[in-house]
Amino acid sequence: MYVSRPQPLIAGNWKMNGVGASLGEAYMIAGGLGDTTARVAICPPATLVQRLAEVLADSAVLVGGQDCHAEEAGAFTGDVSAAQLADAGAALVILGHSERRAGHGETDELVARKVSAALRAGLEPIICVGETLDQRKGGQALAVVTGQVRGSLPAELADKRFSVAYEPVWAIGTGLTPTTPEIEEVHRAIRATLTSMFGAAGSGVAILYGGSVKPSNAAEILHADEVGGALVGGASLKAADFLGIIQAV
């Protein structure tokens, strides 16, 4: 069975950056998309999801959350549920980002429960995986990443649209990136894991690269084998930089 190449996804992760005044950047991004073939998403902090969805209502740019709770509702002070993100206008949600795995103790098992919660709310998950520098130096990058893919992706993803983001922890916010062959090696291993888990449907999953993507390196990264888009942190905060990455698709 032939499964077509997934449509590229360029997603901006604003992390804990942005207030109401930042919505102007999103407005400029929406206005500058041109005729890109990529799907484009912005994932702002939870406080901005609803306002951003309103600003982008007439544009092709999708809105995403950066995390959600595994439960639908309840006594979870400070948390946001997938249903609440969807209600605020989000279409996607980033899950299992290394800053959540490291800073909030998120395990593969918890990430998988969050993915299930996102699917129940109709959100499209972007599931993050990636090795630390010590793991890479120890020759464990492929084992760590494919283990995270197996542990963080529940079976019910099989007939759903989702993407996997390979984000080497040591490349996030550092200006360092793996070489193109290193990126391709990991993306091929993720693809093999996806097809072994989901059969032919695994070929249709976009595998994003994340970690210090910027306009100057975007074209090479985005045209690498098995790279189906990018998850962009710092360079998504300024419209000119984010548009430069989108134009490199």
Q: Which residues are catalytic?
A: 97, 167
* Shortest reach from residue 12's CB to ligand PGA, in Å: 9
Task: Provide the minimum distance between the beta carbon of 49 and ligand PGA in the complex, in angstroms, as a whole number.
Answer: 17
Distance, CA of 107 to CA of 207 (rounded, Å): 21
Six-digit token string for 14: 């604003």
Of residues 198 and 233, the one with the C-beta less far from ligand PGA: 233
Residues 69, 156: Cα–Cα separation, whole Å: 18
**Helix (H, G, I), strand (E, B), or coil: what is residue 203?**
helix
Residues 6+ apart with CB under 8 A from 223: none
For ligand PGA, the binding residues (CB under 6 A) are 13, 167, 172-173, 210-213, 231-235
CA 87 to chain centre: 20
Q: Which amino acid is located at 25 in the chain? A: E
Which one, 67 or 167, has the nearer CB to ligand PGA? 167
Q: Give me the residue whose beta carbon is nearest to ligand PGA.
A: 233
Give the orientation angle of helix 180-198 with respect to helix 141-152, to 10 degrees: 30
How many CA atoms does the CB half-sphere of 35 hold within 13 Å? 0
Residue with tokens 């419209």: 239
Radius of gyration of the chain (CA): 17
Q: How many alpha carbons fall within 13 Å on the CB side of residue 137? A: 5
**Min. distance of Cβ 233 from ligand PGA in angstroms?**
2
Closest to ligand PGA by CB, 56 vs 232, is 232
Nearer to ligand PGA by C-beta: 20 or 173?
173
- Closer to ligand PGA by Cβ: residue 83 or 228: 228
Q: Which is nearer to ligand PGA, 102 or 200 (CB)?
A: 102
Residue with tokens 């800073």: 103
Rounded Cα–Cα distance for residues 43 and 35 (Å): 21
CB of 106 to ligand PGA, least distance (A): 14
User: Least distance (Å) from ligand PGA to the CB of residue 101?
Assistant: 12
CB of 98 to ligand PGA, least distance (A): 7
| Maximal CA-CA distance, the chain | 48
